[in-house]
């Protein structure tokens, strides 16, 4: 694939120079910092050393006082609470967090995760009926609720007070609830708008503990927030950095039984877990429960106090994750020719539908199609004439806004600008595709169809000193809007020839300014001739520490190579 290299321009050259001098870092790292909004020593200190002392006051969130008072009243009166979650990592982690904490402070709790194949997405009247059967006076919905107009109205009719803890955008109508906790809702002055749903639930817990004079007891739940925030791709900036860093540290040093069993089913080692690798190793196993069966098992695993039982559930989910990969590959291979046919017609967004695709994998496959074709993708399958689908964004295309424009055709939808879910009658799919095509044609230029690599800064390889690498490591935790810095170096040669390893990967020793370092380019075997010509070439890459051997040496992970 050919890529466009876009070099980020320093927002302010004076700021870059100021940071370089004040905090004694190379110009390349100062450029990265400045482009990420860091302008002074105070901000750089908070960025490099995130602290739980910098978390925002939970009572700044709209309706927090009302929600806390209602939960504490339920505690006082011995009332039962129903927690309704979602079947992805954020939803199940939020549910587990709420259940464990509320039980800890003495409340009677029941929880429910919908079945993807029976209940569909979001809050449902069936969940309200189940809560009523359990004699619950409060329903707390986590990671869902902002578009659940009818179920929340029905809950109110049944005498159940509802508290929505969500981070998704609302539709045209605001639901009628007892309280909505959502930093992006209208009139909410909470200073940080990018919490995961699990982060919103944590804020509720933080506020309750503040009232109970046990503030620091909240922190032991940040492992849930860390995993959910990384998996749900919320920006790892501001207080998310502190919560994720502390939570990942908990998982590494003192994992709860539910996470310990999960880690044993991955290739990760205790102490080596990061926000990045948790997304690729731990999150898919949790998600497998909802994709292939009942997501309630993920919550059961995460709240378990017994290591053996948690490990047994984790093993079941890992087995289902293997099966999920088979469905994933089959669906992906079937979708590719359909996508290529539409792209040959000049489409700038993909709306793909096949009745026998497995509902549990369409979100994953939509993401893979975005990676392959660099266009927004809407992937749908059908059950009894009703199509259910997932959508993923590309080229800054707002998929939630697009769904909103077609809302008159949709049975339900929910999500945010980067990813969303939808339900629509099969008979409306053609009209839906026409609307998406019109929006995509208006917003996506032909130039934007070429995949882009954003380059943070130019780097001389001889700058890779121990001090540079130490400072670079402090940019973690990495995640959405705080990705690993991508560097550019020109005039590179191969020091000892080129090897093709694995199926399609280049491996060589990169030589630049009398400095030599290991480099690998996954999927870049087609660049072999450029590297083997003996002429200098340019590379864009990020830097990793290769922990395969005890030396823990730095290595270049090359994203693309060009002739000079």
Position 415 pLDDT exceeds 90: no
Mean pLDDT of 205-217: 97
CATH architecture, domain defined by 4-8+452-563: Beta Barrel (2.40)
Q: Can you name the CATH fold of 54-317? A: inorganic pyrophosphatase (n-terminal core) (3.90.1640)
CB-CB contact of 198 with 159 (8 Å): no
pLDDT digits (tens, 9 = 90+) for 159-204: 999 999 999 988 778 999 999 999 999 999 999 999 999 999 999 9
Phi, psi at 560, each rounded to 5° = -165, 160
Q: Phi/psi of residue 410, each to 5°?
A: -95, 145
Cα(260)–Cα(215) distance, rounded to whole angstroms? 26
CA distances from 112 to 67, 106, 121, 300, 423 (A): 20, 19, 13, 11, 21
CATH architecture observed for domain 346-449: Roll (3.10)
DSSP 330-386: HHHHHHHHHHHHHHHTT-SSEEEE-TTS-GGGHHHHHHHHHHHH-S-EEEEEEETTE
Torsions phi, psi for 513 (to 5 deg): 55, 45
d(CA 93, CA 104): 16
Maximum Cα–Cα distance across the chain: 79
Task: Report pLDDT for 121.
Answer: 76
pLDDT confidence of residue 550? 46
* Confidence at residue 274, expressed as pLDDT on a 0 to 100 scale: 95
Nearest in space to 98 (alpha carbons), one of 232, 240, 199, 12 = 199
Indicate the domain borders of the chain.
4-8+452-563, 54-317, 346-449
Mean pLDDT, to the nearest integer, of 432-450? 95
**What's the pLDDT tens digit per position in 304-345?**
999 999 999 999 999 999 999 999 999 999 999 999 999 999
Residue whose C-alpha is closest to residue 140's, from 208, 189, 191, 190: 208
370, 391 contact by CB (below 8 A): no
pLDDT at 2: 83
């Amino acid at each position: 694939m050919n890529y466009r290299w876009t070099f980020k321009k320093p927002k302010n050259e004076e700021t870059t120079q100021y940071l370089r001098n004040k905090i004694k870092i190379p110009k390349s790292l100062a450029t990265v910092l400045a482009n990420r909004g860091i302008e002074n020593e105070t901000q750089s200190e908070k960025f490099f050393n995130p602290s739980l002392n910098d978390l925002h006051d939970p009572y700044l969130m709209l309706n927090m006082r009302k929600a806390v008072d209602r939960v504490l009243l339920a505690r006082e009166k011995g009332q039962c609470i129903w927690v309704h979650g979602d079947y992805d990592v954020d939803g199940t982690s939020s549910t587990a967090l709420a259940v464990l904490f509320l039980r800890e402070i003495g409340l009677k709790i029941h929880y429910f995760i919908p079945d993807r194949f029976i209940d569909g997405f979001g809050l449902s009247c069936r969940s309200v009926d189940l809560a009523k059967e359990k004699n619950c006076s409060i329903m707390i919905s986590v990671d869902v609720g902002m578009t659940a107009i009818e179920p929340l109205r029905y809950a109110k009719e049944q005498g159940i007070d509802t508290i929505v803890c969500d981070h998704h955008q609302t539709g045209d109508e605001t639901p009628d609830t007892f309280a909505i906790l959502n930093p992006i809702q209208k009139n909410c002055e909470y200073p940080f708008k990018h919490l995961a749903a699990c982060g919103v639930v944590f804020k509720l817990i933080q506020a309750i503990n503040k009232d109970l004079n046990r503030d620091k007891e909240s922190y032991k739940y940040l492992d849930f927030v860390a995993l959910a925030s990384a998996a749900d791709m919320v920006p790892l900036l501001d207080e998310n950095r502190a919560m994720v860093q502390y939570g990942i540290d908990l998982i590494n040093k003192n994992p709860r039984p539910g996470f310990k069993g999960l880690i044993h089913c991955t290739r990760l080692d205790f102490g080596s877990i990061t926000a990045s690798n948790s997304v690729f190793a731990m999150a898919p196993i949790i998600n497998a429960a909802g994709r292939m069966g009942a997501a309630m098992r993920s919550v059961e695993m995460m709240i378990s106090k017994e290591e053996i039982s948690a490990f047994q559930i984790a093993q079941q989910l890992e087995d289902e994750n293997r099966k999920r990969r088979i469905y994933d590959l089959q669906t992906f291979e079937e979708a590719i020719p359909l996508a290529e046919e539409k792209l040959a017609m000049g489409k700038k967004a993909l709306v793909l539908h096949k009745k026998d695709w497995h509902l549990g994998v369409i979100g994953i496959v939509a993401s893979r199609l975005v990676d392959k074709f660099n266009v927004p993708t809407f992937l749908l399958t059908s059950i009894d004439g009703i199509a259910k689908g997932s959508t993923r964004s590309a080229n800054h295309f707002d998929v939630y806004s697009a769904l909103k424009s077609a809302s008159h055709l949709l049975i339900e939808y929910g999500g945010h600008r980067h990813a969303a879910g939808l339900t629509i009658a099969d008979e409306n799919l053609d009209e839906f595709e026409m609307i998406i095509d019109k929006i995509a044609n208006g917003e996506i230029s032909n130039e934007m169809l070429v995949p882009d690599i954003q380059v943070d800064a130019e780097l001389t390889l001889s700058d890779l000193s121990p001090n540079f690498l130490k400072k670079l490591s402090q940019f973690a935790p990495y995640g959405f809007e705080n990705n690993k810095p991508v560097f550019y170096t020109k005039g590179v040669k191969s020091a000892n020839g080129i090897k093709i390893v694995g199926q399609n990967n280049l491996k060589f020793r990169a030589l630049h300014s009398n400095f030599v370092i290991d480099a690998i380019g996954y999927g870049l075997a087609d660049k072999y001739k450029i590297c083997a010509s003996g002429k200098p070439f340019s590379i864009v890459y990020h830097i990793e520490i290769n922990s395969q051997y005890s030396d823990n040496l730095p290595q270049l992970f090359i994203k693309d190579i060009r002739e000079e």
